Amino acid sequence: MNFTIPTPLQQEHEALHDELRRATQAGGEVGEAAKTLAGLMHGHFVKEDQIALPPLGLLGALSRGEFSTEMNNVLALTDRLQAELPQMLEEHKAIVAALQRLQVAAEHAGRSDIVAFAQQLVQHARTEEDVMYPAALLVGHHVRLLAARHADQRASA
């Protein structure tokens, strides 16, 4: 079963990539700070797209009480997310520190657009930590519970 990242999250990540790409082209201290940030974020975004965001594609079906045994395949993703979560949170700390440097450079350069982008990306990181990662982990927990219930029902039938 393929797990698709919800479209709004895909679009948000694409928009953030576009903004970051523009910031790297700003030149000077701002461009250099943005390039450092881009280096930190690339691998992190790839990891999110691989393990943290695809489980969220099951939220709608699970909220409607739907279950299929194919959903068990999401457990490989959520188990990996659980294992890698401490590292991902450390990556967020490094990213937020780089964002703060970008914000300072952008303020000195009078680039209010890049200041706003940096602030938006800090908020995005907080949303991931407080909402998206826990929701992805809950998808795994819920699928595990439903799979056990399904197995119990089959065994008693």
Mean pLDDT of 64-72: 93
Rounded to whole angstroms, the Cα distance separating 137 from 44 reads: 17
Mean pLDDT, rounded, of the chain: 94
pLDDT tens, residue by residue, 7-34 = 999 999 999 999 999 999 999 999 999 9
What confidence tier does 71 reach under pLDDT thresholds 50, 70, 90? very high
Q: What is the DSSP letter of 25?
A: T
- Res 2: pLDDT: 74
pLDDT of amino acid 154? 76
C-alpha to C-alpha distance for 41 and 24, rounded to whole angstroms: 13
Question: Which contacts qualify for 116-124: CB closer than 8 Å, 24 or more apart?
Answer: 117/19, 117/20, 117/23, 120/16, 120/19, 121/16, 121/19, 121/20, 121/95, 122/96, 124/12, 124/16
More confident residue, 104 or 3: 104
Q: What average pLDDT does range 140-153 have in this prediction?
A: 91
Share of the chain above pLDDT 70, in %: 99
pLDDT tier for residue 151 given thresholds of 50, 70 and 90: confident
The pLDDT tens digits for 112-139 are 999 999 999 999 999 999 999 999 999 9
pLDDT at 157: 64
